[in-house]
Amino acid sequence: MIPEKKYIELKQKTLKILQKAGIIIRKDEIDSMEITDLGLGKPEIIGAQIIVYVNNERYCAKEIILLPGQTCPEHRHGPLGPDNPGKMETFRCRWGKVYLMIPGKTVLDIKAKVPDFRKEYFTVFNEIILSPGDQYTIPPDTLHWFQAGPNGAVVSEFSSPSFDEKDIFTDPLIRRKG
């Protein structure tokens, strides 16, 4: 769990990024914002700030706000049953730069900086660079990780229903909530 002083600091930094991006967030959305270190205790390196607008049985929409260089670690959204192949998501960069890594041809000179902390759990390096207005759809059960550029980033995620507790992380120490 993130200590309260650090939590407040991260929230303030996140709100500044949203302000720079010109994205209006209501007070109730600010109050319900998830600030996570994924249980690793280094939120500025591996973590994310997430605002969920809607998540129901049909679809999900959220903002993922990343501090400069902050990384959402490698994971996938696996099958949820015989008729559900898992979450499909579209990322749309709203502000900043996002370095999205997916399986495929390894890019040798990636812009993302693999965190030294837990680096052995980053295994896919086909880099897609998203600038404001760019978007990319990630099929179900596809390994991916992403990182903000030097100024941070705001990513709108549109997806099938999200079951965060069922995300499958490459790093066995990661816990989705917390």
pLDDT in tens, 100-151: 999 999 999 999 999 998 999 999 999 999 999 999 999 999 999 999 999 9
Dist CA 22 CA 5 (whole Å) = 26
Read off the pLDDT of residues 81-101 as tens digits, 9 standing for 90 and up. 999 999 999 999 999 999 999
Confidence at residue 1, expressed as pLDDT on a 0 to 100 scale: 81
* pLDDT value of position 177: 66
Q: DSSP letters of 97-113?
A: EEEEEESSSPPTT-SS-
Q: How would residue 79 be classed by pLDDT, with cut points 50, 70 and 90?
A: very high
Q: What is the pLDDT of residues 20-72, one digit of tens each?
A: 999 999 999 999 999 999 999 999 999 999 999 999 999 999 999 999 999 99
Radius of gyration (Cα) for the chain, nearest Å?
A: 15
Q: Cα(27)–Cα(20) distance, rounded to whole angstroms?
A: 17
Residue 30 to residue 13: CA distance in whole angstroms: 12
* 123 contacts: CB under 8 Å, gap ≥ 6: 74, 143, 170
Distance CA(61)–CA(161), nearest Å, equals: 9
CA distance 170 to 41: 17
Range 132-141 burial, b when 16+ CB lie within 10 A, else e: eeeebebebe
User: Residue 178's pLDDT is what?
Assistant: 39
- Domain boundaries, given as residue ranges, for the chain: 4-169
| CATH architecture observed for domain 4-169 | Sandwich (2.60)
Q: Model's pTM, two decimal places? A: 0.96
pLDDT tens for 154-172 read 999 999 999 999 999 999 9
